[in-house]
Amino acid sequence: MLFNSTEFFVFFTITASVYFLLGCLKPAFTLYWLTACSFVFYGWWNPPYLILILGSIIVNYLLGQRLASGGNVWLLRLGVGLNLAAIGYFKYANFFMGTLSDLAGKEYTPLRILLPLGISFYTFQQVAYLVDAYRTRTCERHPVHYALFVTFFPQLIAGPIVHHSELIPQLKDAKRFVPNSSAIYTGLTLFLLGLFKKVVVADGFSPYVSAVFNHADAGGTVSFFEAWGAVLSYTLQIYYDFSGYSDMAVGMAAILNIRLPINFFSPYRQTSIIDFWRCWHMTLSRFLKDYVYIPLGGSRVGSLGRRYTNLMITMLVGGLWHGAGWTFVIWGGLHGFYLLVNHSWRRLPFHKPSSFVGRSTAGFLSWGLTFLSVSLAWVFFRAGTLKGASSILKGMGGASGFVLPKQIGDIIPGIQNLPGIQFPGTVPLLGGGTLMGLVEQVAFILLFLGVAVLGRNLYQLSARTRLLLLMLTAAFTIQRVFFSPAPSEFIYFQF
């Protein structure tokens, strides 16, 4: 059930209405209702996988009880191992077996495994729960509270990754079961503006991105302008798609008087990779730091080399968490390398912090280098194959030529005399092959790049400004949701 579908609007309206009705009449039944609705939401996609998530909840709940009562480290390892085994089978079995077969020079027929929605997210949340139960010897005793912590539908499929200490205490506060007009207004605003990000902005970039990357994955060559247009479009598509989902999740929870953590805070405004990761998918960054980087030794180890090794391992885990493929491993490795360079640079005596907002030359250059590095890494994140990624990178470097629609040569005097530029008539992958399509693509990129870099994010805007934006975008959003042939999935649903 997609957030941008009409059936979800009906589902959420019924869920919220009964939630508040029970909160006023029978508060003791409120969480049972919300838990049941969360299971319905998850089972809507593939009912048999309800058995998987229910089994995961029961096993982790019982293990948490035992760990809090004095269980030893071997029980913790068993619990973490079971969670990793589940995600390993469903998400990584074909990847690992295929890799081993390639090394052995043998053919491998992939297993027919359908990836359960949200398994990466709810697995991480429960691993954190088990670790904390072992560390603090405390856990949640009420099974419904725990089940709702795992399945709470606004964040179940694609996050934010919620820590149990953030959500479970809220579930014990009966005041949250009573309607709050201020929270409902804030939640509706965040939800609808997040919906606009998805159905208007992110989906608007999708045709440009798919045309080029699919062509590259199929073995085709991609010219300079096609490659850069696709990469910049995807850089913006994934931001507006995933931050839109996160805004909608935070907004829905707010309507129900529940606070979820912010997941994005203007990442493309940042002037370093370190700051980028403090503002991009913030809950994943927090998890990787607390449950991978620090247990490895973090920055407390004496050797700088060991610290950097821990950082690289953490980012490789983050890359592999996103997807079962070498492209994701390379993406994580690239960001690990970026972070090593960034940390090394900050250790130099002449380093000075740069701020793009201050419009200094150093700040602008730092922002440009950061944005370029992030955009280059997105090539591997989006490409379906290493060959496709290579084709895109070659195009970005100019190795496949500079191709433009013939109309450009007719309009701009002298451009036809520039070396290397070709005007074959139409370029199907560039703005749909027409001059108007090219102009629209460039304008769309510039407009929403400007918003992402120069504008304030939704959490920085005043209530009045949010309302104004909502009024301006409502018509576009309604048209896309109710008059589109079918809603599109969010990018992070595949993880």
- Which residues have a catalytic role annotated? 322
What count of other Cβ atoms lies within 10 Å of the Cβ of residue 105? 6
Residue type, 378: W
**Residue written as tokens 């927090």?**
286
Q: Are 269 and 453 in contact (CB under 8 A)?
A: yes
Check residue 421 and report its DSSP letter. Answer: E
φ, ψ at 403 (rounded to 5°) = -110, 135
Q: Are 55 and 288 in contact (CB under 8 A)?
A: no
Adjacent-strand bridge partners of 402: 421
Residue 216 tokens read as 């590259």
Round to whole Å and give the CA distance between 11 and 178. Answer: 19
Adjacent-strand bridge partners of 422: 403
Round to whole Å and give the CA distance between 272 and 339. Answer: 9
Check residue 177 and report its DSSP letter. Answer: G
Round to whole Å and give the CA distance between 372 and 376. Answer: 6
What count of other Cβ atoms lies within 10 Å of the Cβ of residue 47? 11
φ, ψ at 421 (rounded to 5°) = -90, 130
Check residue 431 and report its DSSP letter. Answer: G
Determine the Cα angle at 318 with ends 312 and 319, to 5°.
Answer: 90
Residues in the chain: 495
Q: Are 376 and 278 in contact (CB under 8 A)?
A: no
Q: Which helix (H) or strand (E) holds 289?
A: none
What count of other Cβ atoms lies within 10 Å of the Cβ of residue 14? 11
Among 345, 161, 318, 137, residue whose Cα is nearest residue 245: 161
Q: Are 107 and 101 in contact (CB under 8 A)?
A: yes
Round to whole Å and give the CA distance between 220 and 470. Answer: 41
